[in-house]
Structure 1
Amino acid sequence: MSHVTPPQQPTITDRARKLAAQILLTAGSRVKRVVTSTIAGEEPEHSPELDGLPPFPVVAYFADTPNQGYQLRQWLPVLERVAAQHPVAIVTRHWELTEQLRETTDLPVLFVRRLDGLRRLYEQIDAKTVVYVNNGWRNFQSLIYQRALHVHVNHGESDKISMVSNQAKAYDHVVVAGRAAIERHRRALINFDLDKLVVCGRPQLDLDVASVLAPVDGRRTVLYAPTWSGEDDANNYTSLDLYGTAIVRALLDRPDVRLVYKPHPRVLTAEEPAVVQAHAEIVRLVTAAREAGAPHELPLEADILGLFEDADLLVTDISSVGLDFLYLRPDVPIVLTDRRTDRARIVAEAPVASVVDIVDGDTVGDVGTLLAANLAQDPHHDARARVRDHYFGFARGDSSRRFLEFVTDCVARRDAMVADLDAAAS
């Protein structure tokens, strides 16, 4: 819990500042913050508009810092659709992220710093279903609230080991993409109730995303999208430090390729020396090629989904990027990397690895030939389509419908459960 400075006697200026920071809310399915006024560096204990809030049966809880905000942002369009039927509020525990989100979405973004304030807020808005998009440790403070169903949805579908944490056992339901995710939980967790898993595909991928890049005549586009290095070695799937520069040099050597380099957002704030060095070298190489007239791109801050449409080949690591691409662009080849150079292990842990070519310690020396083969033809096209069904299983557009139906069911079941509890207590 954050340290709180002992309160001081408010001055006239303090009261004026608080008055200037009041926000007008309108009740209904959507509530928009109209006025924001805070002093730089000054963080309140909670949002000033918490008094008098209407009910919000659905809450998206996010307690992490702005550095992890991308995990929630990809869910915002989906939550905005849910809000058309069930009022939705976002609850945060970090003031800077609160301010950022209020510039991004019309959904109400409510901030509470302390655990006791969080409990009071949930009671006040009668939260019925609380949604969690990551595995942040502060999720467990939110789970203390007893009169709601708690649903983990995660922020992507991938074969990373972090996708099957024992933390899943704490939630009433865990939303997953398809059969591959069910098997992942069955393989990895002991004493886990598989009935907690709810298959909803990838609702975020049903939404239209504007293409970021225009095609370039005479060049095919290769998207290199490495992941970050994870919290520990077991969760480290990045190719940057081992193969990144070799992959980029091989692609820059081809006059018929436009390279697009888009690393995971957390690569931009990485501290591991080898990752920092490799990223800087790749940016230097691409920048130099651009200055020489080549149409390569460095959309470091772009939405990764907006880069998919123009790609003729994806080179990526074990992460959600490869599976999202498989879902959206099943006719386009993928090349995966394996930093552990363990073909049996990667195929066992990631079914997609069985239907793609892999850059690892054994093949990186001839990476140019490997990439050229996938640009010349699509050697795994039919097998890749079968694996796509294994991960997702239904057509684009159905995920959003299934997710909304599931949330609606959660809200209704919660009301019935609370009514039974109250009746038994009376």
Structure 2
Amino acid sequence: MSFAGLAPRRLVQLGALTLLSALFVAQLIGALLPSAPLLAVAGAGGLALDTALQYKQPGLLSALSKVRFDVTVRQLLRDALLLIGLLRLDEVGRGAQAAATVLLLGGYLTHFACQAAAVLVRRTRSLPVVTRNIDASALRLSTAPPRILSRRPGHRLLAFSVPATLGLAVSALGGEGLGAVLGTALSLALLLGGTAFLATWLLPKKRAVDERRVMEWIDAWLADYQPKVAMYFSGGASSAYQANMWLSTLAGLDKPLIVLRERFMVQKIDATDVPVICYPKVATMFSLENSTLKMMLHPANSGKTSQVLRIPTVKHAFINHGESDKLSSCNPYAKAYDEVWVAGPAARERYALADVGVEDKDIVEVGRPQLTPIRPYAGPPTGTYTTVLYAPTWEGWDGNPGNTSVVLAGENLVRRLLADEGVRLLYKPHPMTGSVDPRAGAANERIMAMIREANTRRTGERPGPEAAAELTRRTTALDELTSTSFRNSADEMERMLLQGAPDGSRDAAILAATAEWERAYWASFPEWEHQIITGPRPAIFACFNVADLLISDVSSVVSDWLSSEKPYAVANTSGLTEQEFREGFPTVRAATLLSPGAEEIPELLAAVREPARDGLGAERAALKEHLLGPAEPPSMVRFRAAVDALSARADERRVRMVGRLDEGAPSGDPELVDEPAESEHGENGSGAEDGSDTAHSLSAEPPNAEDTVTA
């Protein structure tokens, strides 16, 4: 067998498995010979290696669990071999052997009892709703038990088995039974103590109120807070950015609320003062029907969206999480909403051309409120360097080679940019680059290597240590404001306890701290140094503000950049002619098109540096209005007006319904008969216990719209 093609990580994992197996074999040989040194060293070594792998390579041990060789089986085998070895060593008395065996069995029984207690504790600490930014002290919440007791059975067994294993090993080496008895007794005592301590979380003092009282509490909070507009979001862990990009806009509305469906998503939402409620089950979510909520904003589609659309008292608007010329920006699922809110006329035309069932009367142009931080064009670069932002999108799900320029043009683009001594390159790839097409991931790695190598050829003055110290201070201050992390043992109940109602000043403080951090970040690097930006900071808009030129693909990044009216270029790797490409993708109408070979780069840079050679300025201004709508009134004003208008429609419906009830509408009136939220077949009438709605969903798993590079 050849190991030349294996990655270093795979070699380490293979070596660990081989060593673990070898230690079991050595322990077996030591027990059968018997050989006390071999038995003791192999047993203790196996426990040490298993413990290390629990922390360093949990995925590797998960693979062993799939073949039923989990941590309990491994530890039981180690202990059994040690006991067999002791029985074959005549020096150890039979009484000590019997006592150690009984104590060891008692330890395993206690371990299983502790696991049963852990299951009960977790169930009592799983509430029907999860909240953030809401004072939940009335629910009698408590801090979580130690994670090693409640959620880490493997870690617990190994840690508490250390005295027993060492005691058995000492007895094997010394030929006496006292060590085995003391070691197994200490392990049993630790397990008994841990189990008793964990069981205290089942006492009334540490238990939250029951589900009925929790729902009464959340209903009372809703009645007191009186929300008017909510953002509804459901999705996977990597999709949280789709909701986070709307937080600043949502915070500017009256009585906003965030409604989530997945428990883990509560901590994925960035720091904000807006109250957050997660309804994991559809049956509990329908309590919103009796609240003052008038409308919901939807930044993405999901299978669970159909569930909330069944609440008749609430109006729904699809706001998307980015617009581009891709087909995903005119998803047929959008016709399920009362209104579709878009940035400008271009999106209206896109829906008309797509002919997916969205009527023109249901489309509302609101602009892009998030673009306010983007500074407008202030003329050509005045310093030594022209800053170029290369922000390609990812490869997408459909395998279209024109989705991303990284594979076919990325290296050529970067090579030509780096060849210009007057260019400072900022490279910010989409975070999902390479997630579908390995070629994109490989090209991305080569591009970053090229940029790092180019930096080694540049020299010049660097900022002093005070610049780095200032960045550290600003980073610490911003992290303190935005952090949603907790101690490792914290569970959702403890996080609810600690994330109570804010004082209302955090959003403004985060905005100010972010601006200070961005100034410190750019000041900490020399102006000549190329940058690779792959983390959430600096955000894409911060990169916009320091860049003189954008090079990207057909994506919402281009639409957002146009708000600045700065020059931009788009790579055409689709195989279409220039005319076909411009006709098919209106957002590139005011762009310089780049071929896969990127031969146009020198002329493009010249036009950026000398505006007289830039013939696309007027076209960019016109395209900006076509894509994003007029500058006046401001986008946020239009957005609020759209919220008020749709909320008024919700109020009008409520009035009509009350009037019909007063008039004695017939029981069969379809407008008065709502679909039941729960039936004898399950929470939603479909038999799905997890809250999914298969019988009434409008789409099984509609794809999300445009994915963009965001902070």
**Fold shared by both chains (TM-score > 0.5):** yes
Question: What SS class does the counterpart of residue 130 from structure 1 fall into?
Answer: strand
**5 Å matches for 1:167-206?**
167-206=333-372
Residue 38 to residue 226, structure 1, CA distance change in 2 (3 Å): farther
| Residue in 2 that maps onto 1:97 | 265
Mapped partners of 2:636, 2:315: distance in 1: 20
In the TM superposition, what is the alpha-carbon distance from 1:352 to its structure 2 partner?
3.2
Residue 262 to residue 397, structure 1, CA distance change in 2 (3 Å): farther
Tell me if the contact between 1:248 and 1:282 (Cα under 8 Å) persists in the aligned partners. yes
Residue 136 to residue 388, structure 1, CA distance change in 2 (3 Å): same
In the TM superposition, what is the alpha-carbon distance from 1:249 to its structure 2 partner?
1.1
Mapped partners of 1:300, 1:236: distance in 2: 22
What residue identity is the alignment partner of 1:67? S
| Residue in 2 that maps onto 1:212 | none
Paired residue for 1:113, among 275, 280, 287?
280
In the TM superposition, what is the alpha-carbon distance from 1:321 to its structure 2 partner?
0.8
In the TM superposition, what is the alpha-carbon distance from 1:368 to its structure 2 partner?
3.6
The percentage of counterpart residues that share the same residue type is 29
Question: What SS class does the counterpart of residue 358 from structure 1 fall into?
Answer: strand
Mapped partners of 1:225, 1:37: distance in 2: 44
What residue identity is the alignment partner of 1:91? V
In the TM superposition, what is the alpha-carbon distance from 1:425 to its structure 2 partner?
3.0
In the TM superposition, what is the alpha-carbon distance from 1:13 to its structure 2 partner?
4.6
| Residue in 2 that maps onto 1:281 | 446
In the TM superposition, what is the alpha-carbon distance from 1:402 to its structure 2 partner?
0.7
Paired residue for 1:73, among 230, 244, 261?
244
Structure number with larger C-alpha Rg: 2
Paired residue for 1:339, among 559, 573, 577?
573
**5 Å matches for 1:394-409?**
394-395=630-631, 398-409=634-645
Tell me if the contact between 1:162 and 1:235 (Cα under 8 Å) persists in the aligned partners. no
Mapped partners of 1:17, 1:143: distance in 2: 30
Mapped partners of 2:456, 2:382: distance in 1: 17
Tell me if the contact between 1:250 and 1:367 (Cα under 8 Å) persists in the aligned partners. no
Question: What SS class does the counterpart of residue 391 from structure 1 fall into?
Answer: helix
Question: Which digits, 9 at most, give the CA deviation of each residue in 1:176-206, with x for residues without a partner?
Answer: 1111111111111154310000011111112
Question: What SS class does the counterpart of residue 263 from structure 1 fall into?
Answer: coil
What residue identity is the alignment partner of 1:386? A
Q: Looking at secondary structure, tell me which structure has more helix per residue.
A: 2
| Residue in 2 that maps onto 1:366 | 599
What residue identity is the alignment partner of 2:587? V
Question: What SS class does the counterpart of residue 252 from structure 2 fall into?
Answer: helix
| Residue in 1 that maps onto 2:588 | 353
> Which 10-residue stretch deviates more, 107-116 or 167-176?
107-116
Mapped partners of 2:598, 2:342: distance in 1: 37
In the TM superposition, what is the alpha-carbon distance from 1:245 to its structure 2 partner?
1.1
In the TM superposition, what is the alpha-carbon distance from 1:64 to its structure 2 partner?
0.9
Question: What SS class does the counterpart of residue 238 from structure 2 fall into?
Answer: helix
| Residue in 1 that maps onto 2:312 | 146
In the TM superposition, what is the alpha-carbon distance from 1:66 to its structure 2 partner?
2.7
Tell me if the contact between 1:357 and 1:370 (Cα under 8 Å) persists in the aligned partners. no
| Residue in 2 that maps onto 1:4 | none
Question: What SS class does the counterpart of residue 53 from structure 1 fall into?
Answer: helix
> Which 10-residue stretch deviates more, 215-224 or 295-304?
215-224
Question: What SS class does the counterpart of residue 424 from structure 2 fall into?
Answer: strand
Question: Which digits, 9 at most, give the CA deviation of each residue in 1:157-187, with x for residues without a partner?
Answer: 3211111111121110011111111111111
**5 Å matches for 1:192-231?**
192-207=358-373, 217-231=383-397
| Residue in 2 that maps onto 1:270 | 435
Tell me if the contact between 2:295 and 2:647 (Cα under 8 Å) persists in the aligned partners. yes
In the TM superposition, what is the alpha-carbon distance from 1:305 to its structure 2 partner?
0.6
In the TM superposition, what is the alpha-carbon distance from 1:50 to its structure 2 partner?
3.6
What residue identity is the alignment partner of 2:392? P
Mapped partners of 2:367, 2:594: distance in 1: 28
Mapped partners of 1:190, 1:388: distance in 2: 25
Q: Which has the higher contact order (CA 8 A, sep 6+)?
A: 2
Question: Which digits, 9 at most, give the CA deviation of each residue in 1:358-385, with x for residues without a partner?
Answer: 1234xx2524435434434423112222
Question: Which digits, 9 at most, give the CA deviation of each residue in 1:45-74, with x for residues without a partner?
Answer: x99974532232211011012311111111
Paired residue for 1:25, among 126, 134, 138?
134
Tell me if the contact between 2:342 and 2:366 (Cα under 8 Å) persists in the aligned partners. yes
Tell me if the contact between 1:222 and 1:314 (Cα under 8 Å) persists in the aligned partners. yes
| Residue in 1 that maps onto 2:680 | none
In the TM superposition, what is the alpha-carbon distance from 1:115 to its structure 2 partner?
2.0
In the TM superposition, what is the alpha-carbon distance from 1:79 to its structure 2 partner?
0.2
Tell me if the contact between 1:23 and 1:36 (Cα under 8 Å) persists in the aligned partners. no
Tell me if the contact between 1:216 and 1:258 (Cα under 8 Å) persists in the aligned partners. no
What residue identity is the alignment partner of 2:283? D
Residue 26 to residue 369, structure 1, CA distance change in 2 (3 Å): same
Tell me if the contact between 2:401 and 2:574 (Cα under 8 Å) persists in the aligned partners. no
Tell me if the contact between 1:53 and 1:125 (Cα under 8 Å) persists in the aligned partners. no
Question: What SS class does the counterpart of residue 146 from structure 1 fall into?
Answer: coil
| Residue in 2 that maps onto 1:252 | 418
Residue 231 to residue 146, structure 1, CA distance change in 2 (3 Å): farther
Residue 58 to residue 188, structure 1, CA distance change in 2 (3 Å): same
Mapped partners of 1:262, 1:100: distance in 2: 22
In the TM superposition, what is the alpha-carbon distance from 1:126 to its structure 2 partner?
3.7
| Corresponding position: 1:62 with 2:233 | yes
Mapped partners of 2:123, 2:408: distance in 1: 56
What residue identity is the alignment partner of 2:450? L
Mapped partners of 1:10, 1:421: distance in 2: 49
What residue identity is the alignment partner of 2:644? T
Mapped partners of 1:407, 1:235: distance in 2: 39
What residue identity is the alignment partner of 2:619? A
| Residue in 2 that maps onto 1:5 | none
| Residue in 2 that maps onto 1:310 | 546
In the TM superposition, what is the alpha-carbon distance from 1:76 to its structure 2 partner?
0.3
Question: Which digits, 9 at most, give the CA deviation of each residue in 1:67-121, with x for residues without a partner?
Answer: 1111111110000001xx2x111111222221132x511111111222222223x
| Residue in 1 that maps onto 2:327 | 161
Output the aligned Cα RMSD: 3.2
Question: What SS class does the counterpart of residue 89 from structure 1 fall into?
Answer: strand
Tell me if the contact between 1:151 and 1:174 (Cα under 8 Å) persists in the aligned partners. yes
Residue 402 to residue 18, structure 1, CA distance change in 2 (3 Å): same
Mapped partners of 1:26, 1:235: distance in 2: 50
In the TM superposition, what is the alpha-carbon distance from 1:127 to its structure 2 partner?
2.6
What residue identity is the alignment partner of 2:134? L
Question: Which digits, 9 at most, give the CA deviation of each residue in 1:330-373, with x for residues without a partner?
Answer: 1x211011221313332223223232221234xx2524435434
TM-score for the superposition, normalised by structure 2 = 0.51
Residue 58 to residue 283, structure 1, CA distance change in 2 (3 Å): same
Tell me if the contact between 2:131 and 2:266 (Cα under 8 Å) persists in the aligned partners. no
In the TM superposition, what is the alpha-carbon distance from 1:408 to its structure 2 partner?
1.6
In the TM superposition, what is the alpha-carbon distance from 1:304 to its structure 2 partner?
0.4
Residue 254 to residue 404, structure 1, CA distance change in 2 (3 Å): same
Mapped partners of 2:650, 2:134: distance in 1: 26
Mapped partners of 1:282, 1:352: distance in 2: 26
Aligned length: 394
Mapped partners of 2:134, 2:431: distance in 1: 33
In structure 2, list runs of 5 or more residues that go unmatched.
1-115, 152-210, 376-380, 459-527, 663-711
Mapped partners of 2:271, 2:329: distance in 1: 27
What residue identity is the alignment partner of 1:95? R
What residue identity is the alignment partner of 2:246? W
Question: What SS class does the counterpart of residue 221 from structure 2 fall into?
Answer: coil
TM-score for the superposition, normalised by structure 1 = 0.83
